[in-house]
Structure formats: C-alpha cells, structure tokens
C-alpha cells in the first residue's frame, strides 16, 4: 500500500509504550489493522498529528516515542517546514488585517516533509544525516536506507562512517557505533515482488531486477514467469516487454477507480496468469438440501438460521476431510498441503469483493458456522474487517445464486488451489425413479489449479460433494 486512512490512537500522549504494543489503527484497502511499535518510549502526539479520517502515506511521521528527559517536539513536520508554514500564515493574517495599504510578505518556498521509512530515519539519526536534504532517484520521492548510506559515504571518503553518540533512547553505544560499518548494497526485492514470487513458485533472487540498484519488482517476476521456457536459462535475455493496453476506439470517458478496485483487478489477473485454471460444472438434485434447511428453520429457536451458503461451507469442509487433494496450492515447483481447513466466503460489498475467512471449519457446528459467517458478512459490509479476518484461507466458496445465475467461472484466489461457485436453486422437472417430477436443482462450478490436481480426482471430489448435497443429514452426522 502507498497510503491509508488513520483511524484512531490506541494510546494517549504521555503513555509509556513498549516494543510490541499496539499504538494506533490504520485503515487499508480492505481492512482496519492494529499497528504495533517496534521501539519503546513515551508517546508524544503533537497537535498537528493526523486526525481520524486523515490520509497518511507510508513512512509519514505521525508521532514520536521519546527517551527519558527528551524534549517534546511541537510538530510532526521538520522545523524548517513548520517555520515556513507559520510565516505563511502570519503573512496571510497581516494582509487580511490591513485595509489601507498593500502588504507584501514572502514566505519560504513550500517544501513538504520527506517521506521515509522507519529504518531509513533510524539510520539517518545514527549517521547524522538530514533527511530533508537527501535526494533519491525513487520516482515517489521516498527516502530509503541506501539513500542515507550513499550520502553518508560521500561525506566521509574513508571506509568508516561517523556515527554520533547515541542518546539514552537510541539503544546504540559508542562502542557499537565503532563496530558498525556500512555494508555494500545488495540486490533486494519489493514486498509485492516477494509475494508474486511465492505465488508463482519461483525464487526472486534468481530474477534480474530492473529497479534501482537491481531491485526486483513485481513486474520483473511476472515478466520472468511469462517468458517462453526455451529462454528462461539465458541470463542475457532481459525482461519481456509488456504488451501495451489496447486503447478504446469508441467515444467514452475514463472513470477513476478505488484502491480496492485496483487490488481486486490485480488479484483476479494473478489468479488467471499464475495458475493453470480448469473449471468443472455439474447440476445436483438439491431436494434434500432444501428439506434440510426447511427443517432447521422450523426447529431452531435462534435468530440466526443457517443459509444455503452455510450448509455448503459445512459440506465442503467435510468433503475436504475425506478427499484433501484440493486443500493445497502450488509452491516452489511442488504441491503445498494445508494442514488446516479454512474457508473464505466471497462477500459483495459497496467497496468491492471481499472474502473473509472462517477458520477450522470441521471443528465448528453448523450453528457456529452461521454465527461466524453472519458476523463476517456484517463487518465486511461496514468496512470493519481486520487483516487477520482476511488471511489464512485454504479454499473459497462464492455464491451468485441470489442473482439468478446458474453456472459461472470463478477465479482462484491465490495462493489457494481451488474455488467453488454456487448457482441458484431452481424448481424444475427432474427424473426420479423413471418418472418426471418437480424437484430442486443446484448448479456448481469448481475451478482448480491443474498444477495441483488433475481433472479426474477433482471430478471425484465434486462428485462426492454432490452426493453429500443429496444426503446432507446423513453426511454431516456421520456413520
């Protein structure tokens, strides 16, 4: 992520913070996360710190952790920037208060504070480098640790760099500083590149990076995976040029999209490009399933009645227990088997498609599954899901039956290896004991990663699920 929305402080100014304490809430693209502190000290929140609802960029200063006896900063911005803002405000007030003469006042040029990560700021303090004076080739203007090292090396040609004496809260002594030497910059990868490499089953350190200082980017991983097999071992071959998008040829206009829409687009594209997707479809006699839910509605005293989606989640988990081949993904040129059965349920919200996770489904009763799914759906539609509630799924169930859809092609949610799509339950003629009668049918669409499992075992899995739908009570209660 490049930016988020500040939600609230979990501590107040003056509180003692220990490393590992949760300090504030940050709203990302799909969830609200608790952010922990990596250092200890006394929390200081200046008046101009972000307020709930303010957008904050990655690396932006929002407060301070102070050592004992350290003076409290009055602003989250550097002194020069804060002074320029004060002078600008004073000049504006002077112009407005003078009705008889023109007052010309010039404030220092606007220079917003530099964006830098915690590691870069910590290294700058240790090496005595002013973050505001640094330049970086990064197009976003974000200061990285290597920028600090480069400037520090240029200011001291010798091999050892001067590290100012540490303050009481820095955790570094003069002896530590003498031992510390600047290491040569090594090739590294962005978090998104590492995630893409893991999903594609490749080692990022074997990919030639096109970023600054050989940094491996997500596009490098995608280009590497997209190359023809015959040239993968040719180290002289650079990344395959990306295909330019086809421009629209009819009149229209470009609409801006939200961060979550961009994330969904990236994830869906990755689900197609980084897997070998195959979709199997079937139609099941759902008369017993309908009768089962009708009985549950009549016999339950709870306000929460299991939905058809809840029933299928329960049956899917038990089918996975019998035939666990689908509870896996492709990783590092092999099949990775999940030990837990955690099922994500796709939820349509005004923000976009979100898939919260029900953990350890086989251990839950049907009523517990219904309670958790209702809670997750409500939190998803209110935008209050935590990151933990969106992670760890090993299989996904998605339902479009409420929109009168019978069959569709669901896209695998990486790093999972399969996803089940549910269509609508339809009243229609069915053949029973050589007689045509009115019955209920349910259409299912199972998309698998053919690298993980072949078509025949996947078909057997779908066949077993279909049998359980036709005899759900017997299947869930066991022998």
- Per-10-residue mean pLDDT of the chain, 479 residues long, equals 83 88 82 82 89 84 86 76 51 47 38 64 75 66 75 56 37 38 51 74 76 78 59 39 65 79 80 89 93 87 86 95 93 89 92 90 92 92 84 93 93 92 92 86 95 94 94 63
pLDDT at 141: 64
Q: What is the pTM of this model?
A: 0.57
Helix (H, G, I), strand (E, B) or coil at 330: strand
Tell me whether residue 168 is exposed, middle or buried, using C-beta atoms within 10 angstroms of its C-beta: 0 to 12, 13 to 18, 19 or more. Answer: exposed
Question: Parallel, antiparallel, or unpaired: how do β-strands 64-66 and 41-44 relate?
Answer: antiparallel
Helix (H, G, I), strand (E, B) or coil at 266: helix
pLDDT at 79: 63
pLDDT at 54: 87
Active site residue 450: yes
pLDDT at 477: 56
Distances (CA, A) of 87 to 21, 114, 455: 38, 20, 71
Ranges of beta strands (E only) in 196-351 are 277-285, 328-330, 335-337, 343-345, 347-349
Catalytic residue among 162, 274, 367, 450: 450
pLDDT at 183: 38
What are the φ and ψ backbone dihedral angles of 285, each rounded to 5 degrees? Answer: -70, 110
């Amino acid at each position: 992520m490049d930016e988020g929305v500040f939600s609230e402080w979990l501590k107040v100014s003056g509180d003692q913070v220990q490393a590992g304490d949760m300090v504030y809430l940050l709203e990302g693209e799909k969830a609200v996360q608790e952010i922990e502190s990596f250092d200890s000290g006394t929390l200081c929140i200046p008046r101009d710190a972000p307020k709930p609802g303010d957008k904050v960029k990655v690396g932006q200063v929002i407060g301070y952790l102070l050592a004992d006896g350290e003076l409290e900063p009055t602003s989250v911005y550097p002194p020069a920037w804060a002074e320029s803002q004060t002078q600008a405000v004073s000049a504006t007030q002077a112009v407005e208060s003078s009705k008889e003469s023109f007052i010309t006042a010039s404030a220092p040029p606007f220079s917003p504070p530099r964006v830098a990560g915690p590691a870069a700021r910590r290294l700058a303090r240790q090496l005595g480098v002013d973050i505001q004076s640094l330049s970086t080739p990064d197009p976003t203007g974000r200061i990285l640790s290597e920028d600090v090292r480069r400037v520090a090396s240029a200011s001291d040609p010798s091999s050892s760099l001067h590290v100012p004496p540490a303050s009481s809260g820095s955790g570094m002594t003069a002896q530590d500083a003498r031992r510390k030497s600047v290491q040569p910059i090594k090739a590294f990868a962005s978090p998104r590149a590492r995630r893409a490499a893991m999903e594609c089953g490749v080692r990022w350190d074997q990919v030639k990076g096109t970023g600054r200082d050989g940094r491996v980017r997500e596009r490098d991983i995608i280009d590497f995976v997209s190359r023809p097999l015959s040239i993968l071992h040719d180290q002289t071959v650079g990344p395959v040029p990306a295909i330019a998008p086809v421009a629209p040829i009819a009149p229209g206009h470009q609409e801006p999209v939200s961060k979550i829409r961009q994330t969904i687009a990236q994830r869906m594209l990755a689900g197609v490009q980084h897997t070998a997707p195959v979709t199997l479809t079937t139609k099941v006699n759902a008369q017993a399933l309908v009768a089962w839910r009708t009985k549950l509605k009549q016999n339950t005293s709870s306000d929460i009645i299991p939905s058809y989606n809840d029933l299928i989640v329960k049956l899917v988990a038990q089918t996975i227990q019998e035939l666990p081949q689908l509870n896996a993904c492709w990783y590092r040129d092999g099949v990775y088997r999940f030990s837990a059965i955690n099922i994500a349920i796709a939820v349509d919200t005004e923000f976009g498609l979100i898939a919260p996770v029900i953990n350890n489904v086989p251990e839950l009763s049907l009523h517990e599954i219904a309670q958790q799914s209702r809670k997750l759906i409500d939190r998803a539609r209110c935008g209050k899901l935590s990151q933990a509630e969106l992670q760890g799924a090993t299989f996904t169930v998605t339902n479009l039956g409420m929109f009168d859809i019978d069959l569709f092609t669901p896209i695998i949610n990486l790093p999972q290896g399969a996803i089940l799509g549910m269509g609508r339950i339809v009243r229609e003629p069915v053949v029973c004991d050589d007689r045509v009668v009115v019955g209920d049918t349910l259409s299912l669409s199972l998309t698998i990663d053919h690298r993980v499992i072949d078509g025949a075992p996947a078909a057997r899995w779908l066949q077993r699920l279909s049998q359980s739908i036709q005899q759900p009570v017997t299947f869930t209660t066991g022998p």
